[in-house]
């Protein structure tokens, strides 16, 4: 398990240049569709909302260093600042010193809690519920109802592919689980879901509660170890299995993992799947931080960490990361009739939806404000549909739109220019209807 102490050398590379606070969209000369979204912009949802250095990653890296040196005592006040971060990784994408910014922030959270500070109220509730054998999910739902949405045969150990549903799709957005199961059937995947599946641990790991995270990680690893492939519809579960389980368990995964959007991309790329049904809408795409940026960064770092020659391999690593960022775009462009309009901040520079890292539960105003900031950017493209592929992003965007509509009702103002008329569509759900 990567502790803050183990990340000391990585943290020591931070020169406090503060480049991680801002982002161009890929290239400095790329222009957005409006003047507001052109040039270098603020990239950090936490810094943008709170406006104080400690909330930006640059501040957090220095707090981590001070904590390691014993110059900063563990306290509730410190934890409150460090937890107000969506762990979106925008900062990590910007850092030229390849600092694993999110790993340091998450390790600092864990170190503060391990030093005796209680997790923040809402985060503690997640922990208690996930730790509870009769629940094993942060939503306080009965464990035996986890696969209630599924009409097929559960726990089929004869097949080699499992769909890891995740708590949000299992209990809160069951239409995503249903469409995922339906699309997998349509494309001929022989799969099962496990009724004993437990939370992937993402909200627990992100909020610094590592002992409980280890429990559920080990349970899932044991439960799924005989499968060849695990498929995911949740960006957070996917990132947690793909990136965090190997780092936290100290060994490679016993199975392959793929997000369903990636799986569909593979089929399109191999010429095995063609989408015939038209979807004549003007669409913009939001990259979920977990399945796009974090996985892209991990692909880049995996190549660099195994490299004997960074000069040669950094180009290869960059190309592999960019190829990962293209995956949803290839899928969207394969949909006949769809008119695709990119936002300004995309791929590694994409602005977060505002929900992750424990923020939606504990800092709901920040989550809402971040959602509105992204909705405004989406609306600036002129799109009618905001598409993404993460149940948590869908929830937070819909909450943002609800708030805008309420504001319209209260003030009589038309807020369509900042996103009140956008329709949020989940890509897997749409694909299931088109295939
Ligand atoms: S994390 Fe990287 S980009 Fe941010 S202040 Fe430190 S060195 Fe600069
Ligand atoms: S992970 Fe995201 S919210 Fe957290 S400091 Fe970095 S840019 Fe800001």
Name 339's bridge partners. Answer: 282
Contacts of 278 (CB under 8 A, 6+ apart): 336, 337
Do 278 and 402 fall within a single domain?
yes
Cα distances (angstroms) measured from residue 156 to each of 151, 177, 184, 259:
13, 17, 15, 21
Do 220 and 80 fall within a single domain?
no
Task: With respect to residue 419, please indicate whether it lies within any of the assigned structural domains.
Answer: yes
Do 265 and 286 fall within a single domain?
no
Cα distances (angstroms) measured from residue 2 to each of 45, 198, 246:
25, 23, 11
Task: With respect to residue 134, please indicate whether it lies within any of the assigned structural domains.
Answer: no
Nearest to 124 by CA among 67, 55, 64, 76: 76
Last residue of a domain, one of 271, 290, 313: 271
Cα pseudo-dihedral 280, 398, 376, 239, rounded to 10? -90
Task: With respect to residue 336, please indicate whether it lies within any of the assigned structural domains.
Answer: yes
Please tell me the distance from the alpha carbon of residue 292 to that of residue 299, in angstroms, as a whole number.
11
Which residue's alpha carbon is nearest to atom 7 within ligand 1? 14
Contacts of 308 (CB under 8 A, 6+ apart): none
CATH of the domain at 404: 1.20.1050
In the sheet that holds 385-388, the strands lie side by side as 339-340, 282-285, 385-388, 423-426
Ligand 2 close to Cβ of residue 88 (< 6 A)? yes
Find out whether 399 and 371 touch, Cβ atoms under 8 Å.
Answer: yes
Task: With respect to residue 132, please indicate whether it lies within any of the assigned structural domains.
Answer: no
What is the 59 CA–ligand 1 centroid distance (Å)?
A: 9
Q: How many independent structural domains does the chain possess?
A: 3
Domain that holds residue 417: 274-435
Task: With respect to residue 130, please indicate whether it lies within any of the assigned structural domains.
Answer: no
What is the 92 CA–ligand 1 centroid distance (Å)?
A: 8
Do 262 and 341 fall within a single domain?
no
Render 237-288 in DSSP notation, one character per residue: HHHIIIIIHHHHHTS--SSEEEEHHHHHHHHHHTT-----S----EEEE---
Nearest 5°: phi and psi at 63? -70, -40
Pairing relation of β-strands 22-23 and 41-42? antiparallel
Q: Pocket around ligand 1: residues whose beta carbon is below 6 Å from it?
A: 14-20, 57-58, 61, 91, 94-95, 97, 99, 101
Find out whether 385 and 280 touch, Cβ atoms under 8 Å.
Answer: no
Render 140-194 in DSSP notation, one character per residue: ---GGGTTTT--S----TTSSEEEE--HIIIII-HHHHHHHHHHHHHTT--EE--
Out of 18, 20, 63, 101, mutate this one to test ligand 1's pocket (max ligand atoms within 8 Å of CB): namely: 20
Task: With respect to residue 127, please indicate whether it lies within any of the assigned structural domains.
Answer: no
What is the 209 CA–ligand 1 centroid distance (Å)?
A: 26
Which residue's alpha carbon is nearest to atom 8 within ligand 2? 44
Burial class (CB in 10 A: 0-12, 13-18, 19+), 61: buried
Please tell me the distance from the alpha carbon of residue 361 to that of residue 70, in angstroms, as a whole number.
30
Do 187 and 78 fall within a single domain?
no
Do 247 and 295 fall within a single domain?
no
DSSP state at residue 118: P
Nearest 5°: phi and psi at 78? -65, -45
Per-block mean pLDDT, blocks of 10 residues, the chain (435 long): 87 96 81 83 96 96 97 97 98 94 97 97 96 96 96 92 96 94 95 97 97 97 97 97 96 97 96 95 98 97 92 93 97 98 94 97 98 97 96 95 98 97 97 95
- Token pair, residue 99, equals 């600092």
Please tell me the predicted confidence (pLDDT) of residue 2.
67
What is the 16 CA–ligand 1 centroid distance (Å)?
A: 5
What is the 354 CA–ligand 2 centroid distance (Å)?
A: 10
Render 301-363 in DSSP notation, one character per residue: HHHHHT-S-HHHHHHHHHHHHHHHHHHHHHHHHTSTT-EE---SS-GGGPPP-S-TTTHHHH-
Angle between helices 310-333 and 295-305 (to 10 degrees): 150
Do 230 and 327 fall within a single domain?
no
Please tell me the predicted confidence (pLDDT) of residue 27.
73
Do 15 and 65 fall within a single domain?
yes
Do 290 and 429 fall within a single domain?
yes
- Token pair, residue 380, equals 């600036």
Cα pseudo-dihedral 259, 265, 267, 268, rounded to 10? 160
- For 66, the enclosing helix (H) or strand (E) is helix 57-69
- Token pair, residue 306, equals 């195994």
Ligand 2 close to Cβ of residue 91 (< 6 A)? yes
Do 163 and 72 fall within a single domain?
no
Last residue of a domain, one of 86, 118, 150: 118
Please tell me the distance from the alpha carbon of residue 194 to that of residue 270, in angstroms, as a whole number.
29
Do 338 and 267 fall within a single domain?
no
Last residue of a domain, one of 240, 271, 302: 271
Out of 48, 88, 359, mutate this one to test ligand 2's pocket (max ligand atoms within 8 Å of CB): namely: 88
Please tell me the distance from the alpha carbon of residue 263 to that of residue 163, in angstroms, as a whole number.
12
- Nearest-ligand number for the alpha carbon of 15: 1
Render 28-65 in DSSP notation, one character per residue: TT---SSGGGSSSEE--HHHHHH-SGGGSHHHHHHHHH
Do 256 and 303 fall within a single domain?
no
Task: With respect to residue 135, please indicate whether it lies within any of the assigned structural domains.
Answer: no
CATH of the domain at 259: 3.40.50
Find out whether 147 and 154 touch, Cβ atoms under 8 Å.
Answer: yes
Please tell me the distance from the alpha carbon of residue 183 to that of residue 266, in angstroms, as a whole number.
14
Task: With respect to residue 376, please indicate whether it lies within any of the assigned structural domains.
Answer: yes
Q: Max Cα separation, the chain?
A: 62
């Amino acid at each position: 398990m990567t502790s803050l102490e183990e990340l000391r050398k990585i943290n020591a590379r931070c020169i406090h240049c503060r480049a991680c606070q801002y982002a161009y969209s890929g290239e400095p000369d790329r222009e957005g569709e409006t003047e507001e979204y052109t040039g270098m912009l603020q990239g950090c949802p936490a810094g943008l909302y709170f406006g104080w250095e400690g909330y930006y990653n640059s501040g957090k890296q220095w707090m981590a260093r001070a904590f390691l040196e014993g110059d900063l005592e563990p306290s509730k006040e410190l934890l409150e600042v460090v937890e107000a971060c969506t762990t979106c990784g925008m900062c990590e994408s910007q850092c030229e010193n390849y600092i694993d910014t999110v790993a340091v922030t998450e390790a600092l959270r864990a170190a503060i809690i391990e030093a005796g500070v209680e997790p923040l109220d809402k985060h503690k509730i997640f922990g208690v519920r996930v730790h509870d054998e009769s629940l094993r999910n942060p939503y306080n739902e009965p464990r035996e109802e986890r696969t209630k949405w599924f009409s097929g045969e559960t726990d089929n150990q004869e097949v080699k592919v499992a769909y890891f549903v995740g708590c949000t799709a299992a209990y809160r957005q069951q239409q995503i689980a249903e469409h995922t199961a339906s699309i997998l059937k349509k494309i001929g995947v022989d799969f099962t879901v496990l009724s004993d599946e437990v939370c992937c641990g993402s909200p627990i790991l992100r909020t610094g509660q590592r002992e409980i995270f280890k429990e559920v990680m080990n349970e899932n690893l044991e439960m799924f170890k005989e499968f060849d492939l695990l498929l995911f519809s949740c960006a957070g579960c996917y990132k947690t299995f793909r990136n965090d389980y190997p780092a936290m368990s100290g060994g490679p995964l016993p199975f392959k993992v793929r997000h369903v959007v990636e799986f569909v991309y593979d089929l399109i790329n191999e010429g095995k799947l063609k989408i015939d049904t038209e979807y004549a809408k003007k669409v913009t795409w939001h990259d979920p931080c977990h399945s796009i940026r974090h996985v892209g960064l991990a692909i880049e770092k995996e190549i660099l960490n195994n490299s004997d020659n960074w000069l040669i391999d950094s180009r290869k690593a960059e190309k592999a990361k960019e190829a990962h960022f293209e995956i949803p775009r290839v899928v969207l462009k394969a949909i006949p009739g769809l008119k695709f309009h990119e936002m300004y901040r995309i791929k590694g520079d994409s602005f977060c939806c505002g929900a992750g890292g424990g923020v939606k539960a504990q800092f709901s105003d920040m989550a809402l404000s971040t959602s509105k900031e992204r909705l405004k950017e989406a609306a600036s493209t002129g799109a009618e549909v905001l598409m993404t592929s993460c149940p948590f992003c869908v929830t937070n965007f819909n909450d943002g739109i609800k708030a805008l509509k309420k504001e319209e009702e209260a003030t009589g103002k038309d807020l369509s220019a900042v996103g009140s008329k956008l329709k949020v569509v989940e890509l897997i759900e749409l694909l299931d209807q088109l295939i």
